[in-house]
């Protein structure tokens, strides 16, 4: 049986209906959730994605606002969004500063990710959500309505794999990919690494491939593979292959792919020859994930809106989730104080040098 091309837009329809049902359940005259996108990069792809997202949100009845800002004003704009009760979700378009370090020790972009409020992080990239993912913690606390937010593109791949029948239908939460082997050719902090953790948390054996190394992810940990392990050797045994190489010339050799494999391309370029791939019996090929990714973004916004911006009891006891939010804000505040201290020391050194 020849291979099949799976169209992401058909998968997205299921979640489109889910989002519209949620909006229909809101009290009369309640404004729809608002997502604010902070665009401080000159990358035309980021602006195109922002505009495309806005169009999709408006079609589904959600509100989306793009705010174009200069690099030097990003932190100020982010703080305003964190404090604005009318903003229910925040997305920051990266890269802004690339690998430029921050005074807190990590990259400046990492610092920004950790500065987004837990209550508004639709991308699931803050310290709280990242550590929960890598520790396989699925709820922020014992409240069943406190599910963690997961990165949108990685989550879209999971939903596509569910659609393609890779996940077992058993009710077990942690073992629905038991016995499956997956290879991800990408280890970015936005897509490849979180996806590897998500699949491993669900029971799969995952090989994470980057330019200079291959790591094996399994539930509870990862280890670097020996030098004899190659991309070819892990792809050949994989039930799932996800490609995310941001290079136009890269093509995954189709002779490495076995029958009945699900191949998902998350790169902006086609990382595989579709015609050759579809000659392989039983293969399912997903050339693009964008429309499912946007639906996951919308879904995350609705989840945050429900968890943090409605159903708050005015009984004076507060919300138990506020302690976690305070912890995240304290972490960001400590990082900011550290950054200012280091800046002051640096400026003092420059001043002393100029006085000589």
Q: Which residues are catalytic?
A: 152
The Cα 121–Cα 133 span in angstroms is 14
Residue 184 contacts residue 190 (beta carbons within 8 Å)? no
Residue 288 contacts residue 265 (beta carbons within 8 Å)? yes
The Cα 167–Cα 40 span in angstroms is 38
Residue 154 contacts residue 191 (beta carbons within 8 Å)? yes
Residue 139's SS3 state is: strand
Residue 186: which region, alpha, beta or left (left: phi > 0; alpha: psi -120 to 50)? left
Q: Read out DSSP for 160-204? A: HHHHTT-S--SS-SS-TTTT-EEEEE---TTTHHHHHHHHHHTT-
Residue 239 contacts residue 184 (beta carbons within 8 Å)? no
- The radius of gyration of the chain's CA atoms, rounded to the nearest angstrom, is 22
Residue 88 contacts residue 305 (beta carbons within 8 Å)? yes
CA atoms within 13 A on the CB side of 226: 1
Length of the chain: 356
């Amino acid at each position: 049986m020849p291979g099949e091309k799976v169209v992401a837009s058909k998968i997205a329809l299921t979640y489109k209906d889910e989002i519209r049902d949620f909006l229909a359940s809101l009290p009369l005259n309640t404004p729809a959730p608002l997502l604010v996108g902070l665009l401080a990069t000159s990358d035309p792809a980021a602006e195109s994605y922002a505009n495309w997202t806005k169009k999709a949100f408006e079609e589904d009845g959600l509100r989306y606002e793009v705010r174009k800002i200069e690099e030097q004003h990003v932190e100020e704009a982010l703080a305003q969004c964190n404090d604005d009760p009318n903003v229910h979700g925040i997305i920051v378009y990266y890269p802004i500063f690339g690998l430029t370090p921050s005074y807190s020790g990590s990259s400046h972009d990492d610092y920004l990710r950790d500065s987004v409020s837990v209550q508004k992080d639709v991308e699931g990239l803050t310290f709280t959500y990242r550590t929960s993912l890598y520790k396989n913690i699925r709820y922020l606390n014992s409240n069943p309505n406190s599910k963690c937010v997961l990165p949108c593109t990685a989550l879209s791949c999971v939903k596509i794999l569910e659609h393609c029948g890779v996940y077992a239908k058993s009710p077990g939460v942690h073992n629905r990919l038991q016995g499956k082997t997956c290879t991800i050719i990408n280890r970015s902090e936005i897509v490849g690494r979180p996806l590897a953790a998500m699949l491993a948390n669900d029971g799969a054996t995952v090989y994470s491939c980057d330019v200079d190394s291959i790591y094996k992810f399994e539930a509870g940990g990862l280890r670097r593979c020996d030098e004899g392990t190659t991309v070819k050797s892990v792809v050949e045994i994989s039930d799932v292959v996800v490609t995310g190489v941001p290079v136009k010339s890269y093509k995954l050799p189709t002779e490495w792919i076995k029958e009945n494999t699900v191949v998902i391309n998350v790169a902006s370029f086609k990382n595989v020859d579709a015609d050759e791939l579809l000659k392989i019996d039983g293969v399912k090929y997903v050339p693009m994930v964008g429309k499912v990714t946007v639906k996951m973004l919308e879904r995350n916004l609705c989840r945050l809106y429900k968890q943090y911006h409605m159903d708050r009891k005015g009984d004076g006891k507060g919300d138990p989730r506020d302690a976690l939010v305070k912890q995240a804000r304290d972490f960001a505040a400590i990082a900011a104080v550290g950054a200012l201290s280091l800046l002051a020391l640096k400026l003092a050194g420059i001043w002393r040098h100029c006085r000589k």
